[in-house]
């Protein structure tokens, strides 16, 4: 098995032969607008198997034999379960939230939209040294040992579940009705869910994915309610990523400004929100990993890397 760190991998001439290639994390290089892993495969013809650590790939690597095995998401979900999050959805005060750490292209465009349209009925986390947006000052939700960079913060050893529980749950997520979720994949057609979506679920919020490709489809396939009766997710299959991002906001702008509409919907649908929490608590992502290992026992080594009980 060859383990590749998706965000940092660049082809340097290495040779492989009929290999299981485990791609850890997303693997699109925004600067070159390419998948460096493709260079590895083109220069090494053979019976390779790609293992994607997310929920789907509809881009150029889809022509190669591959499987979906969301071990990171399964591991993150286990962490949230172990922290025993206690939700409280009774004190909604704002329309929406967003959380931005690394300044990816979709996140910068979201900030520009919020600033341009003066969407102020919100709570958010922006742990940068300086903000270029007059109406969106930086925030300072920290436990004390984080390293603050110009645009972002390194959490050191703090798990995401603890950051949510101590810093973001009561202050940013739970008081809001809608989560504007900026998952890492944007320009590429990969379906990647991370702790950002898990936080939105525990907070009892309606999800709108900003820029991501077919994220609502993947969540529906796993049994999650994405609230199609109030959220317009038609943006998620638009081919152009910029249009996909912009339409996520335009089609759902009323949810970002009409607090009574979203608050009352939340109040009437606690059972549906709880259904989603229950699926997280069951860890349906781990179930998917287990299913893949049952079908292909040689993939167990990948689950073992994360300490997953399969």
Tallying the residues shown for the chain, one arrives at 310
Q: Smallest Cα–Cα separation from 70: which of 87, 90, 55?
A: 55
What are the residues whose beta carbons fall under 8 Å from the beta carbon of 151, sequence distance 6 or more? 102, 103, 128, 129
Measured in degrees and rounded to the nearest 5, phi and psi for residue 194 equal -130, -165
The pLDDT, as a whole number, for residue 151 is 73
What pLDDT sits at residue 143?
A: 67
pLDDT tens readout for residues 32-69: 999 999 999 999 999 999 999 999 999 999 999 999 99
Q: How far is CA 62 from CA 131, 205, 305, in A?
A: 38, 32, 24
Residue 51 · residue 78 · CB < 8 Å: no
Residues 6+ apart with CB under 8 A from 152: 101, 102, 103, 127, 128
| CA max distance for the chain | 59
Q: Per residue of the chain (310 residues), give pLDDT as tens.
A: 999 999 999 999 999 999 999 999 999 999 999 999 999 999 999 999 999 999 999 999 999 999 999 999 999 999 999 999 999 999 999 999 999 988 899 999 999 999 999 999 999 999 988 999 999 999 987 766 667 766 777 766 789 999 999 999 999 999 999 999 999 999 999 999 999 999 999 999 999 999 999 999 999 999 999 999 999 999 999 999 999 999 999 999 999 999 999 999 999 999 999 999 999 999 999 999 999 999 999 999 999 999 999 9
Angle at the Cα of 209 from the Cα atoms of 227 and 126, rounded to 5 degrees: 125
Beta-carbon contacts of 199 under 8 Å, excluding residues fewer than 6 positions away, are 99, 160, 164, 168, 169, 173, 179
Q: Would you give the DSSP letter of residue 62? A: G
Alpha carbon distance 91, 31 (integer Å): 42
Give how far Cα 227 sits from Cα of 224, 272, 284, 296, Å: 9, 9, 19, 34
Inter-CA distances, 297 with 22, 103, 130, 284, Å: 14, 38, 49, 19
d(CA 304, CA 257): 46
Cα–Cα distances (Å) from 278 to 85, 151, 198, 220, 298, in that order, read 12, 35, 12, 14, 30
The angle formed by the CA atoms of residues 40, 299 and 16, to the nearest 5 degrees, is: 25
Count other Cβ atoms within 10 Å, centred on residue 101. Answer: 18
In sequence order, what are the beta bridge partners of 99?
Answer: 125
Strand partners, 68: 52
Instruction: Give 3-60 as a DSSP string.
Output: EEETTT----S---SS-EEEEES---BTTTTB-HHHHHHHTS-S--EEEESSSEE-SG
The confidence score (pLDDT) of residue 99 equals: 96
Q: Are 191 and 199 in contact (CB under 8 A)?
A: no
């Amino acid at each position: 098995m060859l383990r590749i760190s998706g965000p940092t991998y660049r082809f340097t001439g290495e040779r492989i032969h009929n290999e299981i290639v485990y791609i850890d994390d997303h693997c699109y290089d925004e600067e070159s607008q390419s998948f460096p892993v493709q260079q590895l495969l083109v220069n090494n013809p053979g019976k390779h198997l790609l293992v994607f650590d997310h929920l789907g790939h509809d881009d150029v690597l889809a022509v190669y034999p591959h499987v979906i095995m969301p071990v990171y998401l399964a591991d993150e979900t286990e962490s949230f379960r172990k922290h025993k999050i206690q939700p409280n959805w009774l004190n909604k005060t704002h329309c929406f939230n967003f959380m931005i750490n690394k300044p990816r292209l979709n996140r910068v465009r979201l900030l520009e939209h919020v600033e341009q349209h003066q969407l102020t009925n919100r709570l958010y986390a922006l742990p940068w040294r300086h903000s270029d947006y007059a109406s969106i000052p930086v925030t300072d939700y920290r436990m004390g040992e984080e390293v603050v960079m110009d645009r972002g913060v390194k959490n050191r050893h703090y798990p995401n579940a603890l950051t949510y529980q101590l810093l973001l749950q009561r202050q940013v997520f739970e008081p809001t009705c809608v989560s504007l979720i900026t998952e890492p994949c944007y320009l590429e057609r990969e379906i990647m869910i991370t702790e950002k979506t898990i936080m939105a679920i525990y907070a009892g919020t309606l999800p709108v994915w900003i820029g991501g490709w077919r994220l609502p489809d993947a969540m529906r396939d796993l049994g999650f309610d994405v609230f199609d009766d109030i959220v317009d997710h038609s943006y998620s299959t638009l081919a152009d990523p910029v249009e996909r991002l912009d339409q996520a906001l335009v089609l759902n702008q009323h949810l970002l400004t009409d607090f009574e509409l979203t608050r009352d919907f939340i109040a009437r649908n606690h059972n549906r929100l709880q259904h989603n929490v229950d699926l997280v608590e069951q860890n349906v992502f781990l179930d998917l990993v287990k299913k893949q290992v049952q079908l292909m026992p040689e993939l167990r080594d990948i689950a073992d890397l994360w300490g997953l009980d399969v």
